[in-house]
Amino acid sequence: MQLSADPDFHYEILRVMSLAPYQGADLGEVLVAAQKIQPKDVESFYGAFNGLATRVDKTARAMDARKKPISARQHFFKAATYYRSADFFLHGNGSDPRIDSLWEKHLAAFNSAIALLPTPGRRISLGASNDSFTIPAIFYGCGMPGPRPTLILGNGYDGAQEEMYHVIGQAALERGINVMTYEGPGQPSVRREQNLGFIPDWEKVVTPVIDHLLTRPEVDPRAIGLLGYSMGGYLAPRAAAFDHRLAAVLAVDGVYDYGAANLDKFPERMRAIFKAGDATLFNRLVEQRLADPAATTAAVWGVQQGLWSFNVETPFEWMTKLEDYTLASVLPKIRTPVFVAQAERDDVIPGQSRLLAEKLGELATHHVFESVDGAAYHCSVGASVLQNHVLLDWFEDVLQRRSR
């Protein structure tokens, strides 16, 4: 079943729908919105989800949250998801005021939702180890007594920490696992508020998060896991190479060399031009490709998002920065068990998960999510319940073995 004739819109609509099991969306209203989206028309994508977000947000704010906290919370969570989706394809024009205005609405809705949880989520600001940036984070306590296992959740190239609550956070809380989400440079809030693009040395982001967790009495210091989602499948193993206080790492999906994965998407001639260092020609050819009416939504958006999230001006600068996003030199430093997820038909980072698992050897648990289960798309979107039982069962098993 295609949710849009545009395969990239199809994926992003499915991504929204996949949050439904954990209060992040409602299938019927998303399907109604999807009917308004025209292939390759990012404004129609914005319009459909902004209209839905505005309507759901209005409904939430009309409720008396003191009397109906669950209903209000669920509507606020959905509104936040839809505002994020409305923003998703807008980053081709970095000065578009909607990039900030939609995010403010998204944060307001999400903050209203987490305040209504049985154990309210708490926003925290952490200083990086060298004080060069601030790490926004949210701690969700599971509400169970005693020090508990805790899972740190980080998103990737285009996703927010708030999305991670619905991806796996709620599922972890249901099992008595505390959750800490965060964002670093290049990710939505840090990029907007601190004007910082991605950095490859992600341990500068994760180490302060672990430092903070170790100060909390509800956290078992021997039972902290780190999950990285999408590009986070590089970021999480990278951090684990330098911080050995983690009990487990989950790379969903695994990434060994993010720079190579992106360069491989270009034709052979353009790869050769980039490697020869001809920035002028490379940039011109990329611009021509993006201006071609036949260019896919993913090809155009991928470059636009890259320039925005890495905070650079040209495709050549972006690709040059990406060369540093490889685990080749740091992989021997990883000592932690790593769950390496692979979606069977992943066309975003094809081959990377298997490569990471092979390089990790005995430290890796390599799991392929398959088409027969509806789990074959990148990060297995659309199969969140299945994916979470596999991921969280593995995490619990690792902790049980450590406690023996």
Domain boundary among 272, 289, 323: 323
Whole-prediction pTM: 0.97
Rounded CA separation 240/255 (Å) = 14
CATH number for 191: 3.40.50.1820
Flag whether pLDDT at 403 surpasses 90. Answer: no
DSSP bridge partners of 152: 180, 226
Residues 263 and 273 in one domain: yes
Domain boundary among 323, 344, 365: 323
Residues 197 and 299 in one domain: no
Residues 268 and 245 in one domain: no
Residue 389, H or E segment:
helix 384-403
pLDDT digits 0-9 by tens, 133-175: 999 999 999 999 989 999 999 999 999 999 999 999 999 999 9
Question: Which residue in 217, 214, 142 sits closest to 178, CA to CA?
Answer: 142
Residues 279 and 398 in one domain: no
Residues 265 and 307 in one domain: yes
Domain boundary among 58, 90, 116: 116
Torsion of Cα atoms, 273 then 286 then 157 then 126, to 10°: 80
Supply the DSSP string of 122-139, one letter for each residue. EEEEEE-TTSSSEEEEEE
Q: Using 50, 70 and 90 to split pLDDT, how confident is the model at 67?
A: very high
* pLDDT for 296: 96
Residues 332 and 237 in one domain: yes
pLDDT digits 0-9 by tens, 262-289: 999 999 999 999 999 999 999 999 999 9
Which 8-state DSSP code applies to residue 157? S
Residues 263 and 211 in one domain: no
Stretch 8-16: mean pLDDT: 98
Residue position matching structure tokens 């907007």: 192
CATH number for 93: 1.20.1440
DSSP bridge partners of 126: 135
Question: Which residue in 108, 107, 140, 106 sits closest to 122, CA to CA?
Answer: 140
* pLDDT for 129: 76
Q: What is the pairing mode between strands 219-229 and 248-252?
A: parallel
Angle at 197 between CA 195 and CA 203, to 5 degrees: 120
* pLDDT for 130: 77
Are 84 and 106 in contact by the 8 Å Cβ rule? The answer is yes
Residues 29 and 77 in one domain: yes
Residues 227 and 107 in one domain: no
Are 394 and 252 in contact by the 8 Å Cβ rule? The answer is no
Residues 356 and 225 in one domain: yes
Supply the mean pLDDT for the chain: 97
Q: Which two tokens stand for residue 44?
A: 């129609």
Residues 244 and 286 in one domain: no
Q: Using 50, 70 and 90 to split pLDDT, how confident is the model at 349?
A: very high
Q: Return the percentage of the chain with pLDDT > 70, whole number.
A: 100
Q: Which two tokens stand for residue 192?
A: 């907007």
Helix then strand then coil, in percent of the chain rounded to 5, is 50, 15, 35
pLDDT digits 0-9 by tens, 360-375: 999 999 999 999 999 9
Q: Using 50, 70 and 90 to split pLDDT, how confident is the model at 318?
A: very high
Split into its structural domains, the chain has a count of 3
Q: Return the percentage of the chain with pLDDT > 90, whole number.
A: 98
Stretch 179-203: mean pLDDT: 98
Domain, as residue range, for 286: 259-323
Phi, psi of 369 (to 5 degrees): -85, 130
pLDDT digits 0-9 by tens, 193-211: 999 999 999 999 999 999 9
Supply the DSSP string of 311-377, one letter for each residue. T-SSHHHHHHHHTT-B-TTTGGG--S-EEEEEETT--SSTTHHHHHHHHHGGGEEEEEE-GGGT--S
The secondary structure of 185-240, three-state, reads CCCHHHHHHHCCCCCCCCHHHHHHHHHHHCCCCCEEEEEEEEEEECCHHHHHHHHH
Residues 349 and 304 in one domain: no
Are 149 and 246 in contact by the 8 Å Cβ rule? The answer is no
Q: Which two tokens stand for residue 397?
A: 């098993």
Which residues contact residue 266 at a Cβ distance below 8 angstroms, ignoring those fewer than 6 apart? 274
Are 166 and 290 in contact by the 8 Å Cβ rule? The answer is no
Which range among 35-44, 84-93, 126-135, 333-342 shows the weakest confidence by mean pLDDT? 126-135
pLDDT digits 0-9 by tens, 77-96: 999 999 999 999 999 999 99
Stretch 121-136: mean pLDDT: 93
